[in-house]
Amino acid sequence: MTSEIKIRAIPDIAQVHTHIVDIYRTVFALPPYSEPPEMADAFRQRLLDEHARRDGFRFLVALHDSRMIGFAYGYHSAPGQFWHDNVREALDQNVAADWMEDAFEFVELAVLPNYQGSGTGSRLQEELLHDLPERTAIATTVRDDNPALGFYLRRGWKPLRDDFYFPGVEIPQVIIGRRLHPAPTAS
């Protein structure tokens, strides 16, 4: 099936945001996320109004017979961003300095259920992280979502903290990181 699936960069996501939101709604309505439908509207607004304008923004889609079946995106993580500031504060100072000083924030990866397990998520992730200038990539995933966490760990991500909670959210998260380039050596 993966030979039929194409990965493409989408420079103007406003043209396809309806399809992106439909995929988000379908994927994140399932356990362990179980997000209500209105969360997809909040995602759309966050993506279009905030995330797409960030430095280093990259957005990829997976297409099967010209039908959008998945997406992945991220951007350069920087102080002053909600996610960056909360994650940095939750990490040990040395760990934060090592992993967040020059990091790509891997924000979302979503593949429609019928295509999960086909290699589509792996291809989206690898293409998104390919040739980035940042030294590391950093993300969070639901701690109790063993398939997603296992997916990341099998692809070289390392747990940095496994008991993280975003403000106002009662779902435990794991902060994970992946080296994209070697850490600088001390002189």
Residue 79 lies in a domain: yes
Do 24 and 51 touch, CB atoms closer than 8 A?
Answer: no
Residue 169's pLDDT is 86
CATH code (residue 7): 3.40.630.30
- In this prediction the pTM is 0.93
Each residue of 38-90: pLDDT tens digit?
Answer: 999 899 999 988 999 999 999 999 999 999 999 999 999 999 999 999 999 99
Residue 186 lies in a domain: no
Provide the 8-state DSSP code for 14. G
Domain region containing 151: 2-179
Q: Give ∠ CA 178-50-93 in degrees, rounded to 5.
A: 40
Residue 60's pLDDT is 97
Residue 184 lies in a domain: no
Contacts of 58 (CB under 8 A, 6+ apart): 9, 73, 74, 75, 128, 132
Do 178 and 98 touch, CB atoms closer than 8 A?
Answer: no
Across the chain, mean pLDDT equals: 92
Number of domains in the chain: 1
Residue 41 lies in a domain: yes
